[in-house]
Amino acid sequence: MNIQVENPIVEIHDLTVSYSRKPVLWGIDLTIPSGSLVGIIGPNGAGKSTILKTTMGLIPVSSGYIKLFGKDLDEVRDKVSYVPQRESVDWDFPASVMDVVLMGRYNRLGLFKRPRNADKDVAMECLQKVGMEAFVKRQISQLSGGQQQRVFLARALAQDADLYFMDEPFAGVDAATEAAIIKLLREMTAKGKTVIVVHHDLQSAVDYFNWILLLNMRLVASGPTDKVFTQQLLQETYGGKLTLLSKVGDLLEKEQFPTRE
């Protein structure tokens, strides 16, 4: 199932991506509507992070194309924000929490310009939104994993983009941080932002997202959660591995999805 939308904020057409000649993504074709909270779901090695990195121009395309806001990335880069996996960042880099969040303002500052007080005010506001204002002078390396993730989110918020790509923002964080993050993402989409998240927990996916991509090197499905999150399509995405996810299996057999909060 692949539901196409008019005037999509993200359009991917016939996308194939290879690492040293071995295809990681095959013939991906999809559109995503503006203002959605989107979950990219699939087994390990399915190409979930790859699709984000390719969209952000970090991995070359073997064939096909990606359009954001109907344009190439270079034309709309200031409208797009990317939050990589926490593991991929050098946390020993000597920077304070405030320094990291101000990096989100650089697009608006231009080269070699120093942040103004107004930028620092925006950064502080973003830190308050993620509950990290008390850590403003702390070195980023001295924070816990959940705190680092919150600072990363504040940096993305400071950029004030329209389209956000986040690679496993819930990985390795405590329950309070996860609840704070999903609340924030819902607030962002309520204001018309589009947020696309790589996610690995099937049980929360049905509650968190209103649009889901099921991916396993190929696109299995893309569409509204209630249409796509079915036993059959999940089985197709995960194969035999789905039987290990017993709680989700039980939930899906009953076809009784929890209502949204």
The pLDDT tens digits for 99-147 are 889 888 876 666 556 777 888 889 999 999 888 999 999 998 888 888 8
Bridge partner residues of 11 (DSSP): 31, 67
| 228 residue type, one letter | V
What CA–CA distances, in Å, run from 225 to 75, 98, 235, 244, 254? 31, 37, 15, 22, 16
Ordered DSSP codes for 187-208? HHHHTT-EEEEE---HHHHHHH
What's the total number of domains in the chain?
Answer: 2
Contacts (Cβ under 8 Å, ≥6 apart) of 6: none
Instruction: Provide mean pLDDT across the span 73-102.
Output: 85
How far apart CA 78 and CA 249 sit, in angstroms, is 41
Residue 15: inside a domain, yes or no? Answer: yes
Same domain (yes/no): 229, 200: yes
Residue 115: inside a domain, yes or no? Answer: yes
Give me the pLDDT at residue 261, please. Answer: 36
How far apart CA 31 and CA 7 sit, in angstroms, is 9
Indicate the residue among 161, 184, 219 that finishes a domain. 161
Same domain (yes/no): 63, 84: no
Residue 184: inside a domain, yes or no? Answer: no
- Least Cα distance to 42 among 183, 180, 245 occurs for 245
Taking a C-beta distance cutoff of 8 angstroms, is the pair 248, 242 a contact?
yes
138 φ/ψ angles, rounded to the nearest 5 degrees: -70, 145
Give me the pLDDT at residue 30, please. Answer: 96
Residue 152: inside a domain, yes or no? Answer: yes
| Residue 147 belongs to domain with CATH number | 3.40.50.300
Write down the pTM of the prediction: 0.85
Residue 75 token pair? 């034309």
Residue 236 token pair? 């197709």
How far apart CA 236 and CA 214 sit, in angstroms, is 9
H-state helical runs in 77-230: 97-102, 106-109, 117-129, 145-159, 175-190, 202-208, 225-228
Residue 14: pLDDT band (50, 70, 90) is very high
How far apart CA 224 and CA 73 sit, in angstroms, is 25
Residue 201: inside a domain, yes or no? Answer: yes
Q: Is residue 215's pLDDT more than 90?
A: yes
Inter-axis angle of helices 145-159 and 117-129, nearest 10:
130
Residue 178: inside a domain, yes or no? Answer: no
Parent domain of 17? 1-69+164-171+196-261
How far apart CA 10 and CA 89 sit, in angstroms, is 26
How far apart CA 137 and CA 98 sit, in angstroms, is 6
Instruction: Provide mean pLDDT across the span 245-251.
Output: 54
Q: Is residue 73's pLDDT more than 60?
A: yes
Instruction: Provide mean pLDDT across the span 88-106.
Output: 82
Give me the pLDDT at residue 63, please. Answer: 93
Give me the pLDDT at residue 62, please. Answer: 93
Give me the pLDDT at residue 53, please. Answer: 94
Q: What is the pLDDT of residues 18-54, one digit of tens each?
A: 988 788 999 999 999 999 999 999 998 899 999 999 9
Same domain (yes/no): 91, 138: yes
Number of H helices, E strands in the chain: 11, 9
Same domain (yes/no): 153, 208: no
Residue 180: inside a domain, yes or no? Answer: no
Indicate the residue among 161, 186, 212 that finishes a domain. 161
Give me the pLDDT at residue 245, please. Answer: 53
Give me the pLDDT at residue 242, please. Answer: 56
What CA–CA distances, in Å, run from 164 to 59, 89, 159, 200? 18, 18, 10, 18
Q: What angle do CA 18, 22, 23 make, to 5 degrees?
A: 50
Q: Specify the residue for token string 């000597």.
A: 94
Q: What is the pLDDT of residues 161-208, one digit of tens each?
A: 999 999 998 888 888 888 888 999 999 999 999 999 999 888 899 999
Give me the pLDDT at residue 166, please. Answer: 93
Residue 124: inside a domain, yes or no? Answer: yes
